[in-house]
Homo-oligomer: A and B are copies of this chain.
Amino acid sequence: MGDEAGDPSERPGKTPRTARGRATLRKLLDAAAIEFGERGFHEASISGITRRAGTALGSFYTYFDSKDEIFRALVQDMSAQVGVHAAAAMQEAKSALDRERAALKGFLEFAREHKEIYRIIDEAEFVDSDSYRAHYQVTASRILARLKAGAETGELRDDVSELHAWAVMGMNVFLGLRYGIWSEDLAPDAIASAANDFIARGLKP
Comparing A4-12, A83-91, A94-102, A196-204, the segment that makes contact with chain B is A196-204
Please report the total number of A residues contacting B with Cβ < 8 Å: 38
Interface-forming stretch among A13-21, A64-72, A160-168? A160-168
Which of A42, A126, A178, A195 neighbours the largest number of chain B CB atoms within 10 Å of its CB?
Answer: A178
- Give A25-68 interface residues, CB cut-off 8 Å to B: 40, 42
Residues on B with beta carbons closer than 8 Å to the beta carbon of A194: 161, 163-164
Partner of A170, one of B123, B173, B186, B203: B173
Q: CA A202 – CA B164 in complex, angstroms? A: 13
Whether the Cβ atoms of B175 and A170 lie closer than 8 Å is: yes
Contacts of A203 in B (CB 8 A): 198, 201
Q: How many Å from the CB of A120 to the closest CB on chain B?
A: 11
A191 at the interface (CB under 8 A from B): yes
Q: Which of B126, B173, B191, B201 contacts A174 (CB 8 A)?
A: B173
